[in-house]
Structure 1
């Protein structure tokens, strides 16, 4: 219970609220009283201001009276004082007048009546000034009379300035006083418009400062209002800023900010943000802006290391996967142009940065190795000191990858550069006092690097352990599907390339070989028509099957056919037709062709759905072995053996075939399975071990393992008297018992 006499919490809060309201009311009353006092003071202030201004105007008039010259009280201008100082107060002759004009022209830099140099409008300023004879004869009485009249008007104007002080109280006091004083002085001087010296006029400090600032300004200078919202733009960026709109400038700033924050830890997030920004503008603008900023960051920056180039190459590969292959193609074109420009400037630092970026773009599968080989062959033909440095950078960065991608091209490059070095050495020996332009130590180091690559010796700086995470991320994005193949360095530099030049092969031909192009097109049309008829003969009864058939049979290689099949963009269950058409084409061949197995392996590694489609397709063909022709059966056996050797399929595919039932083992089935196992046993012992080990540790395949041992022993080993088949069977039998799954 609460104590008696104490206030409750509710009452205390009520009292505090009432006290607060009372304080607010008292403060408002105090504020209103202050405003009335301030208003009364302001009403009384103009009277004192008028008195002060009248005193100042009287002082100005007295000073002007002192400046009157002669007994007649004529006002002498500054121009007249200058003439008296130069020539004296007496009359002058015409010769003196001409001499005086010549000296004035020399001092004022007047030639032929015009000022030399830029026109500062001094002629306009002196247009109304009287000449020297007029001022000496006495014709300036009218001017003096006008000056005296203006002097009276000046009084009125000065006094009027004191009466109009309501505008002064609004915050423009100094501006009004300056304007009134200057206008009164101009009226006193007349058309000559000569200003009163500061030492003769008694003004306060505020008037003096305002008048000084007005006197120092030249007549031809015009002040323009500066907008505070306008940002400063550097001179070397003004042309670019004027050419681009504000929206594109914002996009460029956003791209530059993202690239500045790019690192190995945030390359995934930065790439996704850049892809979103890329989709917000047109494709051509996005490719241009992002490509320019990437090339500028690499070529114009400081000396970059390999990690820096690797991160940028990963970014380019990831963005190409997200937005399209055209982005990486246009970026390579911009990089090639920048490379040639920096080469002409002989900028070794920028060349090294661009070379590192290009090399890592090859490592991360943005471009194929044939483009790098084409660049190396071009550098080998010149082989200057700058070329040697560039070749050395490429070989140190991606030399081993170039060797593994195309050993034949690497061999040709090594032979070509050795021949070129021998030629340069022979030319330098023939010169008596001449020296080679190539640094001998750098040349020797380059040759040592080439020998190490040729002998398959890895250099210490080629360890790519820190790139594993970025490569795994690119594998998830399937970066190998957007590799640019068939590009040449000359094609990147060609300004006349049009359309999808990165896919269309060679550049558009000139008018000289139009007939050859027409003949080529006719041949291609005839070949396409033959393929269509052949597809109809092979029972390709739908448009989709005919299209797949023509792509597989007309592909230049398995990569070309694979990329064209991906461009079909099949939806739903239509992709199942690819494997069925591929297997059917393989069985129709007179002689087995490994082209189909390589293409099938590429498709299965790209998408697991193709692997399942292939399994069901093979099971359907196993059911037709009894009615299948011998040639088709042999091609099928070799096809399955090749797929087992590449580990894309396992021996579990034979679980639908009963290998122990004599009723099922007809002569055609036995012949087919014998060819299958004989083709498997043609591989090495380690490969045979690994093929049979894949089904060793699975309990559900126990029946399959026992049936395989029975069939191979009964029908394969017994039919072949050679020791090689028996030895491979022993290895296969031990592998089937390898429950631990240890591979060789």
Structure 2
């Protein structure tokens, strides 16, 4: 049949379907194409409606994004250290009212405009914006920090690709700004040290005048922090950089920037802060403290442990670090999985076998307690132990208090290290202060099961905490003064003598004044007064203390003074 005749014989029924001369329904060619492609067929009238709706939606979406851009820009323009919390809460509210995709894209665009220009961005401005990202990362979700980390790492990788780095002028500071942003994302614990070491390695592998400038920027801004966080990793990185410099061409070796970078690297290695021009870590440290104060509802910054390769191929294989995200990679190739040996568990990785065996002997029967114990035993000092325990991001403060007190009690002699560490935690957060108070009460209630050496250690530990205002003297109120057992009496006598003979009389007076002004502790104050008068100053008890004459006189003076303080009645 000729084609013109065939077209004339086709008819359309009331449902819009094509029929031939015999009344058979002919298949729709669009539907056939959709079926062949594995797609769902959409009728013509619905396609028209969807096209119209799509045009309207696009206009509406453009209005939403434009309004969002204006609101975010207004908040970021006012960002400073003084109003950091107010701005952060405002942006958090916008995240709650809008889609995260729109918010992430809007903030990415604004941060790139503000911080990643061709001129050098002020370091203070970068710090304030990165602490804002850390706040959003903690309060809203780790996918916020992961998005910006991936964005900045991709920009970093784009600058270092073959051909692009050679054409990058030294005066163009875009790569410098990206590096500075990544440095302060690390400072605020958005990602782990291993990723930053990989970025430094990439710069060292592409050694030229521009990358030398970027390496110099890293060592000047956060070099001392890298050395403090992981001295071994810093030493390995430094040796790698030095080997790359040794293999560099002569022209580059004579570059003054390279010589200055080597001087700065040696200054960091030798912990010589005076050689770093305009080095001031105070602002970053203040912002870290402010960030901790801003976080609420037990929120904390989850440090992302992602490898550089995982970030660069995220668009191909997926983002395994985001819960619910599709991922097509191999589990054994994950950045975190490749870092651990097969025979190491995540809880005990990195600690010596002797430490782990000692932890087992001390009945550290949970992963948290083992980690805390190993950190305390292997730390350089109490500040180092405090920071490393904080990095564990523990939600149970009682585990920290339990392990510290357990270690303090089981030393052969009283060691002030544990009291200094406990005081650091008490001053850091009131939750830790309560945890130490409850742990102390548990030990006091179980005092009859302790040896005399352990009781002496507990008395010395509490004496330091009470005099330093880590705990109050009222922590002893759980002692039953009406029925003092032999070891309970020994404990009270030990701690009261240690307190009353303290070298700093002002600290002693302040510790007693704190409970003297509390009208709810009348019974406890009376018990302390009676104990001092009858069990410390009586000749029989005084002789058992085996004190020198000067110490006996000082004890009598201090008891009289503290007795007057405790007799204070709050009108």
TM-score range, shorter chain: 0.5 to 0.7
1:444 maps to what in 2?
259
CA–CA separation in structure 2 for the residues paired with 1:445 and 1:520: 39
Deviation at 1:397, TM superposition (A): 1.8
Map of 1:341 onto structure 2: 158
Provide the C-alpha distance between the structure 2 equivalents of 1:641 and 1:409, rounded to a whole number of angstroms.
39
- Alpha-carbon spacing, 1:698–1:397, altered in 2? closer, same or farther (3 Å): same
Contact 1:696 1:737 in 2 (8 A): no
Change beyond 3 A, Cα 1:313–1:289: same
Equivalent position to 2:177, from 334, 350, 353: 353
| 1:562-711 to 2 correspondences below 5 Å | 563-565=393-395, 579=398, 583=402, 607-628=429-450, 640=462, 648-650=470-472, 653-654=475-476, 657=479, 664=484, 666-667=486-487, 670=490, 695=511, 698=514, 700=516, 707=532, 710=536
- Residue from 365, 368, 390 that aligns with 1:552: 368
Q: Quote how far apart the aligned CAs of 1:383 are.
A: 3.4
Report what 1:392 is aligned to.
Answer: 216
Matches within 5 A, 1:280-359: 280-300=97-117, 302-344=119-161, 345-346=164-165, 347=168, 348-359=172-183
Does the CA contact (< 8 Å) of 2:220 and 2:279 recur in 1?
yes
Segments of 5+ residues of structure 1 without an aligned counterpart are 1-240, 429-434, 528-547, 567-577, 739-744
Per-residue CA shift, 1:564-620, capped at 9, x if unaligned?
A: 527xxxxxxxxxxx6389639975999679999999778755652452354244234
1:164-203 aligned within 5 A: none
Summarize deviations over 1:331-385 as a string: whole Å, max 9, x none.
Answer: 1121111111123332451111112222233444544555434433443444332
Matched pairs, number:
440
Q: Write the deviation string for residues 149-203 of structure 1: whole angstroms up to 9, x where unpaired.
A: xxxxxxxxxxxxxxxxxxxxxxxxxxxxxxxxxxxxxxxxxxxxxxxxxxxxxxx
1:481 is matched with 300
Aligned counterparts, 1:61-76, within 5 A:
none
Over 3 Å counting, the alpha-carbon distance change for 1:693 and 1:357 in structure 2 is farther
Does 483-492 or 454-463 show the bigger shift? 483-492
Aligned pair 1:418/2:242, yes or no? yes
Residue of structure 1 equivalent to 2:207: 383
**Distance (Å, rounded) in 2 between the aligned partners of 1:280 and 1:411:** 47
Name the CA distance, whole Å, in 2 between partners of 1:351 and 1:677. Answer: 63
> Out of 250, 273, 283, which is 2:66 matched to?
250
Tell whether the 8 Å contact from 2:85 to 2:294 is kept in structure 1 after alignment.
no
Aligned counterparts, 1:29-178, within 5 A: none
How far did 1:658 drift? 8.0
Instruction: Report the RMSD for the aligned CA atoms in angstroms.
Output: 5.8
Q: Is the 8 A contact 1:292 1:334 kept in 2?
A: no
Distance 1:628 1:487, change over 3 A: same
1:385-424 CA distances to partner (integer Å, 9 max, x unpaired)? 2221111111222233334444444444444433443x32
| Alignment partner, residue 46 of structure 1 | none
Give the conservation status (yes or no) of the 8 Å contact 1:604–1:648: yes
1:493 matched to which residue of 2? 312
Greater Rg, structure 1 or structure 2? Answer: 1
Q: How many angstroms apart in 1 are the aligned matches of 2:453 and 2:368?
A: 21
1:462 aligns to what SS in structure 2? Answer: coil
Q: Contact 1:380–1:417 at 8 Å: present in 2 too?
A: yes
Does the CA-based 8 Å contact 2:121-2:177 persist in structure 1? yes
Mapped pair 1:402 → 2:230: no
Q: Alpha-carbon deviations, 1:197-239, whole Å to 9, x = none?
A: xxxxxxxxxxxxxxxxxxxxxxxxxxxxxxxxxxxxxxxxxxx
Q: For structure 2, which runs of at least 5 residues remain unmatched after alignment? A: 1-56, 349-363, 376-387, 518-524, 563-571
TM-score by length of 1: 0.46
Partner-residue secondary structure (3-state), 1:484: coil
Higher-RCO chain (CA-CA 8 Å, sequence separation at least 6): 2
Contact 1:329 1:484 (C-alpha < 8 Å) held by counterparts: no
C-alpha separation between the residues in 2 aligned to 1:387 and 1:714? 78
CA contact (8 A) 1:317 1:364 kept: yes
Q: CA deviation at 1:654?
A: 3.6
Q: CA deviation at 1:279?
A: 1.4
Aligned equivalents of 2:206 and 2:313: distance in 1?
Answer: 20
Matched residues in 2 for 1:692 and 1:350: separation? 58
